[in-house]
A and B are shown apart, each in its own frame.
Chain A
Amino acid sequence: MSANCANYHRGNRQTPQSRVTELADRMKRIDDMKRYKTGKYILIFIAIFVISSCVTASYTKEAYNTLATSAEAYDVTMSTLGEMYAQGRISDAQKDKAILYGEDFWLAYHAAVDALETYSITRDKPSVSTHMAALSKALGGFLAYFKTIIGD
């Protein structure tokens, strides 16, 4: 006998409304699990794609892909924060802090683009590597702050 049936026989009968609520919660949990699983597969796919492209791509292409990926991550997170602010879901203080992290990233990103542009002419690899490391750090800080706002 299932737990629900046992409860029913014990007299712990649910009202239709609570049953509907419970089913809706259960469906939401299943949806969340599906989304999490999909996200995991996408993550694995992207990781394999990034690693394989890093192995085969030239230094310029690898740097370009890193910059483009970072830009996309920045754009999506900033757009989300902008929407959340417009809906009143984040405070002015959180917005100001997001802008500070965003500015750090913006500066690091544009410096890295400049370095890559110079590299494509002069082939000065150390300069690009230094700027890429700074970009990576700025993006890490920015995304970590974003995670604290939206939660896990």
Chain B
Amino acid sequence: MELTTLLAIGEIIAKFGVPMALSILETWDINGEPTLEDIARLRAMVPEPETYFKGE
């Protein structure tokens, strides 16, 4: 990961605090090498941007 992106994420973490840091660490909590299932699970973590603005 590029340093600028890492810093940007760091700033976001600083803004949102401990829960954000913990949720990142939770996503890393897999045993050993990521399997194909773990990688496939990554897809569900990023829904399309429009979905965040629906429901109001």
Determine whether the beta carbon of A64 is less than 8 Å from that of B30: yes
Is A4 an interface residue when CB atoms closer than 8 A count as contact?
A: no
Determine whether the beta carbon of A42 is less than 8 Å from that of B50: no
Set of chain B residues within 8 Å of A78, measured between Cβ atoms? 49, 52
Determine whether the beta carbon of B30 is less than 8 Å from that of A117: no
Set of chain A residues within 8 Å of B38, measured between Cβ atoms? 64
Q: A72-B23, A120-B36, A143-B8 are in contact. Are A42 and B14 (CB under 8 A)?
A: yes
Number of interface residues of B (CB under 8 A): 41
Q: Is the interface of A mostly helix, strand, loop or mixed?
A: helix
Q: A109-B46, A136-B1 are in contact. Are A85 and B53 (CB under 8 A)?
A: yes
Alpha-carbon distance between A7 and B55 when the two chains are bound, in angstroms? 54
Closest to A54 in B: B1
Determine whether the beta carbon of A69 is less than 8 Å from that of B9: yes
Determine whether the beta carbon of B8 is less than 8 Å from that of A71: no
Set of chain B residues within 8 Å of A65, measured between Cβ atoms? 27-28
Determine whether the beta carbon of A99 is less than 8 Å from that of B33: no
Is A21 an interface residue when CB atoms closer than 8 A count as contact?
A: no
Q: How far is the CB of A125 from chain B (nearest CB, A)?
A: 15
Set of chain B residues within 8 Å of A58, measured between Cβ atoms? 33
Determine whether the beta carbon of A120 is less than 8 Å from that of B15: no
Determine whether the beta carbon of B24 is less than 8 Å from that of A82: no
Q: A76-B12, A136-B2, A143-B8 are in contact. Are A39 and B33 (CB under 8 A)?
A: no
Interface stretch (choices A12-20, A22-30, A43-51) = A43-51
**9 shortest A-B CB distances, which residue pairs?**
A102-B49, A39-B14, A82-B52, A68-B27, A71-B45, A143-B8, A43-B10, A64-B34, A86-B56
